[in-house]
Amino acid sequence: MVRVCTKDLLDNFTLTLVAGAQGINREIITSDISRPGIEMTGYFNFYPKERLQLIGRTEMAYFLELSDEEKRDRAIKLCEDITPGIVVSRGMDIPEILIEAANEAGVPILRSPRKTTRVLSRLTNYLEGKFAPTTSMHGVLVDIYGVGVLITGQSGVGKSETALELVKRGHRLVADDSVEIYQEDYDSLVGSSPEILEHMLEIRGLGIIDVMTLFGAGAVRTKKRISVAIHLENWDDTKQYDRLGLDEDTLQIMDVKLPKATIPVRPGRNLAVIIEVAAMNFRLKLMGINTAEQFSERLTDIIQNESNMLE
């Protein structure tokens, strides 16, 4: 389980700790961020105290117009015992009464020089990435022409050797053997390598090689959005493989379905070139060009024309 503390925000963003230093290790348990606008009016019935609180120019302007008694009341109620922190945007001056309440309750107050919408966007993206559903898969992830290709298959089928050939052809390795995957959004998966295996490839008979050392920093990347899955399997003479590309198979990882192609492996087949072409073909489909459908439509037109001539 990922544990995120308020201190992590200080380490990753341009934030300044203003008050509540004793609570800097408070745990953040949700990616949701609250802007306590209605709370400034005194309505705390549904105050999401477990969320990170973001005070922008609007909330601060309203707060400054309150009486001293009202300010103290709002400040005390904002600083609950489980509130992970309060972020003030635009580098605004923080009222002393809010600083006192934060120090008493141990709620960190962080100040950012950025605009409120920018702070909200950056913090939300960071927290959603931390709290995103995660899983790991046995396979290889390679960036081919900007397309994240997840290569799967049983052990020894040639995934790592294919990845090595792809790297030699100018593409970038993301992960080998174990791919850590997190669901960035409803329909988006991002893969990365475990820290201990980062930039490494295992080649049977050769051992572990460092791709970045051998081929340079341009041959690797830390993470990549996964767009398509390629499954490698030993050639089975009893199995009928798709020859036109009309069959659209999918691989479901968590809540996301990826387009999947199965490539049979046997001596003489250049898997790196085939996977490279599969990635380019996927990009063509994104641009609305489906070669298999065009061929099928052309074939149908020819059959219909010949049928009309016979009539």
Which residues are known to be catalytic?
A: 138, 159, 177, 243
CA–CA distance, 217 with 140 (Å, rounded to integer): 18
The 3-state DSSP class for residue 37 equals coil
Q: Is 190 one of the annotated binding-site residues?
A: no
Q: Is 268 one of the annotated binding-site residues?
A: no
Q: Is 245 one of the annotated binding-site residues?
A: no
Tokens of 232: 């490698």
Q: Is 160 one of the annotated binding-site residues?
A: yes
Q: Is 179 one of the annotated binding-site residues?
A: no
10 Å CB burial of residue 274 (0-12, 13-18, 19+) is middle
Tokens of 228: 């398509």
Q: Is 107 one of the annotated binding-site residues?
A: no
Q: Is the dihedral of CA 58, 64, 66, 70 positive or negative?
A: positive
Q: Is 155 one of the annotated binding-site residues?
A: yes
* CA-to-CA dists, residue 91 to 39, 88, 282, 289, angstroms: 22, 7, 46, 50
Question: DSSP class of residue 60?
Answer: H
CA–CA distance, 52 with 6 (Å, rounded to integer): 9
Query: Could you tell me if 127 and 27 are in contact, meaning their C-beta atoms sit under 8 angstroms apart?
Result: no
Q: Is 153 one of the annotated binding-site residues?
A: yes
Q: Which of 121, 158, 99 is nearest to 35 (CA)?
A: 121
φ/ψ of 152, rounded to 5, equals: -120, 170
Q: Is 233 one of the annotated binding-site residues?
A: no
Please enumerate in sequence order all residues whose Cβ is within 8 A of that of 116, keeping only pairs 6 or more positions apart, or say none: 35, 54, 56, 57, 89, 90
Binding region: 153-160, 202
Binding region for ATP: 153-160
Binding region for Mg(2+): 160, 202
